[in-house]
């Protein structure tokens, strides 16, 4: 596999690159990013053959979508897949603010809304920010915030938009594998086409393997694996680094050391193992990573394309770092 390899997204007609770019960072996740820097990130991904881009209204309270639309405006529309999300409206005085966004637009904030009408409004506003007339993949974002409304009204709105051709594929964007599995089971047929699973199928957390991934394989639902660097912990485990951990828990410190020892023994960069591991599972179509600079983009492409021998994965399992039942890329 290579980062720029194009594959079919599950049962849809969409073609996506194996490596996708998540656009939270260009919306100002943890640190501010300028318009020019954001454009440079997206341009670098395009030049590397990345053709899958994932954003959301809440990323920088609209900034990520605006910047994505501007950077992709002159690209052939049929040449890339753009994903965004519903469930939060961005409006003056929106109360669902999050401290992780640096320097968000003054006076604006998100408000949770999974209602049918709210979703239609959210899509209309996203299309305006993105400068598009259709969205390739639309995720219900964090449906656990209001699960009954999300699985009924939000899903019905997305299914209707899919039928109308405004949306190419219906998806859910989740941080909890159990939430995704429940959504797939309770949504009206034919159900979502995809799942964006963040942080639950990577080197440190394989909780998606127990129920969700087998269910997706059974139903032909494509999985995009995000959070493969565990919010940056695998890239920079120092205390206080922007990975979401004030202090890294001891159990993770031990696992990080153990992973580093095996990686060093085989001369495999840890990030290469991190970005390639999820694609061993047949349900996983693509891996989505974030970047706030062109250098981070090229770094992820390089580690994605770095050779990892089959014996490395066997050694990892022998060390107890992955469960035996976890499929690995060489299988």
| Active site amino acids | 54, 59, 85
Which ranges in the chain belong to alpha helices (H)? 35-47, 63-72, 116-130, 147-149, 155-164, 177-186, 212-219, 250-266, 270-276, 294-304, 310-318
Q: Provide the token pair at 122.
A: 């959210």
| Residues 307, 273 contacting (CB under 8 angstroms) | no
What residues form DSSP beta bridges with 137? Answer: 83, 169
Scan for tokens 């998540």, then name that residue: 22
- List beta partners, residue 313: none
Residue 249 tokens read as: 């828990």
C-alpha 147 chain-centroid distance: 20
Is residue 28 within 8 A of residue 66, CB to CB? The reply is no
Which of helix, strand or coil describes residue 194?
A: strand
Tell me the C-alpha to C-alpha distance, in Å, between residue 91 and each of 99, 186, 267.
17, 30, 49
Q: Report yes or no: 142 and 174 within 8 Å, Cβ to Cβ.
A: yes
Say how far apart CA 88 and CA 112 lie, in whole Å: 4
Distance CA 324, CA 58 (A): 38
Query: Taking a C-beta distance cutoff of 8 angstroms, is the pair 198, 175 a contact?
Result: yes
Count of CB atoms situated within 10 Å of the CB of 103: 11
240: tokens are 């206080």
d(CA 262, CA 258): 7
Residue 150 CA to residue 275 CA, distance in Å, equals 30
């Amino acid at each position: 596999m290579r980062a720029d390899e194009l594959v079919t997204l599950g049962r849809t007609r969409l073609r996506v690159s194996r490596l996708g770019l998540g656009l939270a960072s260009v919306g100002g996740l943890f640190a501010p990013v300028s318009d020019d820097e954001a454009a440079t990130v997206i341009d670098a991904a395009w030049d590397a053959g990345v053709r899958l881009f994932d954003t959301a209204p809440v990323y920088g309270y609209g900034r990520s979508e605006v910047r994505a639309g501007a950077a992709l405006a002159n690209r052939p529309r049929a040449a890339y897949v753009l994903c965004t999300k519903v469930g939060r409206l961005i409006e003056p005085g929106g109360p669902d603010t999050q401290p992780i966004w640096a320097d968000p637009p003054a006076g604006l904030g998100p408000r949770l809304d999974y209602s049918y009408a709210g979703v239609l409004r959210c899509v209309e506003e996203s299309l305006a920010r993105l400068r598009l007339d259709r969205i390739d993949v639309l995720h219900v974002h964090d449906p656990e915030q209001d699960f009954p409304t999300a699985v009924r009204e939000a899903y019905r709105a997305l299914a209707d938009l899919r039928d109308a051709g405004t949306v190419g594929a219906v998806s859910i964007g989740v941080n909890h594998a159990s939430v995704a599995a429940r959504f797939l089971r309770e949504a009206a047929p034919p159900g979502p086409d995809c799942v964006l699973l963040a942080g639950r199928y990577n080197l440190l957390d394989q909780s998606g393997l127990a129920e969700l991934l087998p269910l997706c394989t059974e139903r032909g639902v494509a999985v995009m694996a995000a959070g493969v660097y565990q919010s940056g912990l695998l890239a920079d485990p120092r205390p206080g680094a922007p990975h979401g951990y004030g202090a890294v828990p001891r159990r993770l410190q031990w696992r990080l050391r153990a992973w580093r020892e095996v990686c060093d023994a085989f001369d495999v960069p840890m990030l290469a193992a991190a970005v390639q591991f999820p694609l061993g599972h047949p349900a996983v179509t693509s891996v989505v990573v974030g970047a706030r600079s062109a250098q981070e983009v090229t770094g992820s492409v390089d580690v994605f394309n770095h050779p990892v021998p089959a014996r490395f994965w066997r050694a990892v399992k022998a060390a107890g770092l992955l469960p035996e039942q976890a499929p690995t890329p060489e299988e």
